[in-house]
Structure 1
Amino acid sequence: MSVSANTVSAAPANSSAPGCSAVPRQRYVQCVNPRGLHRIAYTEWGDPANPRVLVCVHGLTRSGRDFDRVAAQLSDVYRVVCPDVAGRGLSDWLPDASRYAMPQYVADMVTLIARLDVETVDWFGTSMGGLIGMSLAGLPSTPIRKLLLNDVGPRIEPVALERIRSYVGQPVRFATLEEGIDHAALLAASFGPLTREEWRDINTPLLRRREDGAWEFRYDPGIAVPFAASTPESSAAGEALLWRLFEAIACPVFVVRGALSDLLSRETMTRMVERGQNVVSAEIAGVGHAPAFLDAEQIALARRFFLGESAAAS
């Protein structure tokens, strides 16, 4: 993966891995916010004319490049689209930080799907990306046909929220790219026992070089604003809304939990299976929040679910 001062190439994250011969295309779509327009960046894999589309959406401070290996492995069947949510990756920052919330994210994804010119999509959402998918899948006439929720549900454990608040939006600078990669790996240590090269692959796109030569995270520190504004009352109301949306989802749902996750409890996962209409679940041993889906076994779980085979025992 090549890196210049302010851009990251769209080369595959691990082009030497089996099945990773696909080459992504870097694209953009224009979206609207109350103060104007902003661009959402996305990488697109596979046949651009393929009507079978898989949308992969990342976590809070991550980028669509987290899914490079998933996308390469599934691009034989799907046109795989991996957006950078507003304020992250190569996407524009929003002029009003209070808009970093589900209504804007869902609206942006509806615009993206319209750009793709398809009636339905399958959805792979990690953490925040799962919440966006859940919010969209619970709406009437949703375009989502199948939904994989990677280590997230309607209830987010308070200990995880406090962990996130402790680092998100904090101004940090790194003397070298390697220092930034290592810091991002420390924050995401619960992803699992990744190799040095895997950390480099998924963390390099998160960083950019400043004019003074230092490195910093690409994401807008303003994404922390909604966290600072939340109250116990607003959190409870948000959870209740998410449960209502989740219970309205009619399509097949696969909930994947890292067995050591501090964000999605086993109790919440069990409630999701009980309260959802068509839900199966699985736990991945030795992983916390959230499984990285870089190794073959994890990718095989996703492939079996999306291609219609039995994915897991609930």
Structure 2
Amino acid sequence: MRRGGLRYLLGAAFHRLAWTEWGPPEGAAVVCVHGLTRNGRDFDVLAAALAGQGRRVLCPDLPGRGDSAWLPDPMAYAPPAYVVALGHLLARLDGPVDWVGTSLGGICGMLLAAAPGSPIRRLVLNDIGSHVPEAATVRIAAYARQGHRFEDLAGLEAHLRQVHAGFGPLEDAAWRHMAETSARRLPDGGIAPHHDPAIAVPLARARAAPIELGAVWDRVVAPTLILRGAESDVLEAATAAAMAARPGVALREFAGVGHAPALRAADQVAAVADFLAA
């Protein structure tokens, strides 16, 4: 695993986008983008597997998360700003890429894949689709505002187990890895999640409503694999089925999982690897 970064221009200032990178630098590129409160280390297992197949895998931290810079304006924490940052990464790669996006990372992937001249060759949407119900957006906004200080790593791990129970039946080592790669030390000795608490501000100020991305999805032409947790409240079964009815779109559903498959289980990793190898 290597670390990388670049400067991107957003508004009137430059900010740093950071990522972890796996596999040979000359390998065909895969970009893996995480969900709302997470970071690029969520893809460690998938990235290692793809790197073993000769792929170059880049797992960026979205602005305000992980090692990427926090933004001075909380209202900038929204997909348009994320797409600007990620667009700079795609420009740096300057060639075809495959995209794996979990939740918010999938929204960013759809937006980029829908753009004319997009370099995205194949798209994996992990538990996100053209419609997100209002109840799910309310739930996500609520947990994004929770838990910004813990006494120790165990407290953070307990919090992650609660709010991300939908990831499925993970082993204890997986939850501990998630906590270790999600923590930042506070000056008073406490632990906080490794993201800017202000990422919740736009969600708190927004009117509760479903997210409608049908017009974006209609412009995506890249072959697409949709992954769905069978118990997901974010990607409803009817939405996934309607999307998968289009030519060039495949759907895989995983039992015992909600929002979103953690992409650590062997069957989940294999589904992604097999699709991207085509």
Query: Do the two structures share a fold, i.e. TM-score over 0.5?
Result: yes
Residues 31-75 of structure 1: CA deviation (Å, up to 9, x unaligned)? 11114111011001111122x100000000000000001000001
Alignment partner of 1:280 is 2:250: yes
How far did residue 277 of structure 1 move?
Answer: 4.7
Aligned to 1:245: 216
Contact 1:250 1:277 in 2 (8 A): no
Match runs of 1:168-179 below 5 Å:
168-170=144-146, 172-179=148-155
Aligned to 2:16: 39
- Among candidates 78, 81, 90, match of residue 67 of structure 2: 90
Contact 1:125 1:132 in 2 (8 A): yes
- Among candidates 172, 178, 181, match of residue 205 of structure 1: 181
Aligned to 2:234: 263
The residue identity in structure 1 corresponding to 2:37 is T
- Among candidates 103, 111, 115, match of residue 80 of structure 2: 103
Contact 1:61 1:88 in 2 (8 A): yes
Contact 1:170 1:221 in 2 (8 A): no
Contact 1:249 1:277 in 2 (8 A): no
How far did residue 231 of structure 1 move?
Answer: 2.5
Aligned to 1:61: 37
Contact 1:185 1:203 in 2 (8 A): no
Structure 2: gaps spanning 5 or more residues:
none
Count of residues in Structure 1 that have an aligned counterpart in Structure 2: 277
Aligned to 1:299: 269
Contact 1:169 1:220 in 2 (8 A): no
How far did residue 171 of structure 1 move?
Answer: 5.1
> How far apart in 1 are the matches of 2:269 and 2:148?
33
Alignment partner of 1:218 is 2:194: yes
Residues 155-176 of structure 1: CA deviation (Å, up to 9, x unaligned)? 1122211111222133531111
> How far apart in 2 are the matches of 1:91 and 1:149?
23
Contact 2:114 2:220 in 1 (8 A): yes
Match runs of 1:17-166 below 5 Å:
24-50=1-27, 52-75=28-51, 76-116=53-93, 118-166=94-142
Corresponding residue SS for 2:91: helix
How far did residue 278 of structure 1 move?
Answer: 2.0
> How far apart in 1 are the matches of 2:183 and 2:160?
9
How far did residue 100 of structure 1 move?
Answer: 1.1
- TM-score (normalised: structure 2): 0.96
Question: Quick one: percent identity of the two aligned structures?
Answer: 43
- Among candidates 256, 260, 268, match of residue 290 of structure 1: 260
Aligned to 1:311: none
Contact 2:148 2:197 in 1 (8 A): no
- TM-score (normalised: structure 1): 0.85
Aligned to 1:8: none
> How far apart in 1 are the matches of 2:269 and 2:110?
21
> How far apart in 2 are the matches of 1:72 and 1:57?
15
Residues 281-302 of structure 1: CA deviation (Å, up to 9, x unaligned)? 1110010000001111110010
Contact 1:247 1:277 in 2 (8 A): no
Contact 1:258 1:287 in 2 (8 A): yes
Residues 237-271 of structure 1: CA deviation (Å, up to 9, x unaligned)? x61xx211211111101111000001110011112
Corresponding residue SS for 2:21: strand
The residue identity in structure 1 corresponding to 2:271 is L
Contact 2:161 2:175 in 1 (8 A): yes
